[in-house]
Amino acid sequence: MKYVKEFIAALLPQLLLLTVCLLVIFVTQCTPAYAGTIPSAAERHRNTLVRAAHWGFGMDAPISTMAAQVHQESRWQTDARSPVGAQGLAQFMPATAQWMPEVDRSLSNPDPYNPGWALRAMVRYNVWLLERVQAESPCESWAMALSAYNGGLSWVNRDRALALASGASGLAWFDHIEQHNAGRSAANFHENRQYVRVVLFTFEPLYHRHGWGPGVCIGRSEQW
């Protein structure tokens, strides 16, 4: 019995060390690698995004908001291609890319894999969407625009109509329009809502903390 106790006592530090190692591995595997970091590729395209943002929104453009959008779309990979065919930094579908010159003639010769074209087109598309939504604050407006960027403006309009019919606010996205699904599949609905919140409340504060500039929901993100 004495030898058993001595053996356990000798083994205990090793067991504790093994437990700590397993916990470290578990936490590492369960925490997204991108949760608190900005990809190195982001710095390569930072000036291009800033120029595009100032071109589209003026000198007070919400740079951190759009940097967060690119982060969520492609992790700043210029050759990114989604399983459904979305392309480049801003993940434009080919049909949408071909349509963008109708929105702005300066976006002729669509090339989603070209960082300059992609970021200008993303900015211009955001402007186009923001002009077509009504909300009670810039944060709410951008939430609607981001939902539309991800899933289509027609769905935002349908969800808004359903929210109004249900007695919710038609000018507030969070906890109002976002709670209503006018017919999307459960998977698409969840992905769309998660997209908005991740961009505005996870990645926008990240870029803001790293000095990228204004964000539309900074100060409100702590509530979420």
11 or 189, which is more confident? 189
Enter the DSSP assignment of 106.
G
Query: 219 pLDDT band (50/70/90 cuts)?
Result: confident
* Interval 183-192: pLDDT, tens: 999 999 999 9
Whole-prediction pTM: 0.83
Does the pLDDT at position 61 exceed 90?
yes
- Rounded to whole angstroms, the Cα distance separating 168 from 175 reads 9
144: its two tokens: 């609607």
Mean pLDDT of the chain: 88
- For the chain, the structural domain boundaries read 45-223
pLDDT digits over 98-151, tens only? 999 999 999 999 999 999 999 999 999 999 999 999 999 999 999 999 999 999
Q: Does domain 45-223 have CATH number 1.10.530.10?
A: yes
The answer to whether residue 27 scores a pLDDT higher than 70 is no
- pLDDT of residue 224 exceeding 70, the answer is no
End-to-end CA distance of the chain: 56
Tokens for 154, please give them: 């027609």
Q: Cα Rg for the chain, rounded, in angstroms?
A: 22
CA gap 205, 119 in Å, rounded = 20
Alpha helices in 133-176 (DSSP H): 138-151, 153-165
Residue count of the chain, please give it: 224
What number is the average pLDDT over the span 35-56? 94
Nearest CA to 156 out of 141, 137, 136, 139 is that of: 141
